[in-house]
Chain A
Amino acid sequence: MLLQTNTKKIQSKLADYCRTGELTLTTEVNQKHVHHYRRLVYNIIDDMLQSAFPIFYEFVDTKLWDEIVNTFFSTHACQTPHVWKVPGEFYQYACDNNLKEKYNLPFLEDLLLFEWIELDIHTMKDEEFPAYKAKGNWSDDILVVNPEYRILSVKYPVHTTAPSTIDVNNPGQYFILIYREPKKGSVQFLDISILFALTIEKIEEEKTITEITDELQTVFSFQDKAFAQEQIINFCKDLQQKDFVLGFKK
């Protein structure tokens, strides 16, 4: 390292000031103008998080938002060189530091995850789409699905209900299918039941719907297995219309 300790310390102090707002440099900088660095750096993070988490930003008052963002930026060392990926680090930071308890917002992690994944799916690297045929047997052929998706399991209905009206005393189990529509690249999300979440999981394991229905019979004890299978097929047909189910394995 050709950089001397003193120079390194000065650089570190300026960077630290930009992250925390606490200036420890004195004669080394112009005291009148140095605050612009803190302002500019902070605004980049603040703007990025506001645009990534619009629902949460709308919900919280400005003072709390500022406190959360300021604490995040001053205590978390952002690792990604891509500023548009910082919201993912922010979500992880909220989980690691249990912000939902700290701020008494039980749905916080679910909401941040939902908002972040929507962005993440939109920008994620292109996945290779598997080969498939358009026609097949819905019961006995293996279905092929769009690989650009995630299924989220959340305790609060952050995808259907405004944060201010979520009943925090009644957590449940909700599943959200979020995927990138292949033609336009827009992100779609669907509220799905646990039955259908498990169905998609088993389609990924290359099981036919007949096999899936048999396996899920042990979980759900269907009164009418044929009807259940029909419901699963109808769900998959609907997903084909929505460009999630692509077709049938060749």
Chain B
Amino acid sequence: MKVLIPSALESYTGKSEVDAEGENLGELFAALDRRFPGIRFRVIDEQDRLRRHMRCFVNGEQVFDLAQPLSAHDEVIIIQALSGG
């Protein structure tokens, strides 16, 4: 499936869009971390919670649960929430 990567994580992927597989959001991040070591922990903490200012959208819908099922035709967007300064 298509995964859009925020600029803050392009140091891991080298590009703003990658293809990756996973039966659910947790598996998707595990797959991303195998290819781009370290990327998962920047987005998901050690208790498997999305970090406070990170967001994931699947086909335009915001999701918070790593058990969220995914299919090959889904589009996942990882973004930084609008915050900071």
Partners in one complex: no
